[in-house]
Amino acid sequence: MNTKIITTLVTAAFAFSVYSTDAQTKPAKSLKVAEVTLSKPGDVYTSVETLPKFPGRFEGFTKFLKQNIDNKKAETSGRINITFVVEKDGSLSDVKAIGRNTESKAAKEAIRVIKLSPKWEPGRQNGKPVRVQYTVPVIFE
């Protein structure tokens, strides 16, 4: 049976702007986003200026998953959410399934494959590489 794997990288970027209600008298203003200060240099960001990127971006990540996931090991269909930390050097750490079905064979297969991942381009905050938590939903059909 030919099983299709759909991977969606969910990322969000937020832009904040405020517009005057009286455009004739006041020009539009931009709000400054407060700089995030962490308590320790090793802390993990959940939102950064530049998100981590897989080599080859979305298409490369999808190809990587298709080439490495063994659907026979998953034995089911459904969505598995995998979270991990992209380290400053682009390596991945703390790979785990979250949500429902965290102990399923599909979750174990998704974790196994994510751990095989080549190094990512690290996320950046204030121009410097930082540790970033990333979540990827992997859907087995």
The residue extents of the domains of the chain are 5-140
Question: What's 8's DSSP letter?
Answer: -
Tokens of 40: 């320790």
φ, ψ (nearest 5 deg) of residue 105: -65, -35
pLDDT digits (tens, 9 = 90+) for 43-65: 899 999 999 999 999 999 999 99
- pLDDT-based confidence at 102, cuts 50/70/90? confident
Q: Distance (Å, rounded) from C-alpha 51 to C-alpha 23? A: 34
- At 22-34, the pLDDT tens digits run 344 444 444 444 4
Give the bridge partners for 132, in sequence order. 45, 86
Q: Retrieve residue 114's tokens.
A: 């994510």
| DSSP-derived secondary structure letter, 48 | -
Strands 29-30 and 78-86: unpaired
Residue 89 and residue 53: Cα distance in Å, rounded?
12
Mean of all residue pLDDT scores within the chain? 75
Q: Quick one: DSSP state of residue 121?
A: B
Nearest to 112, CA basis, from 60, 77, 70, 52: 70
Q: What is the mean pLDDT of residues 78-92?
A: 94
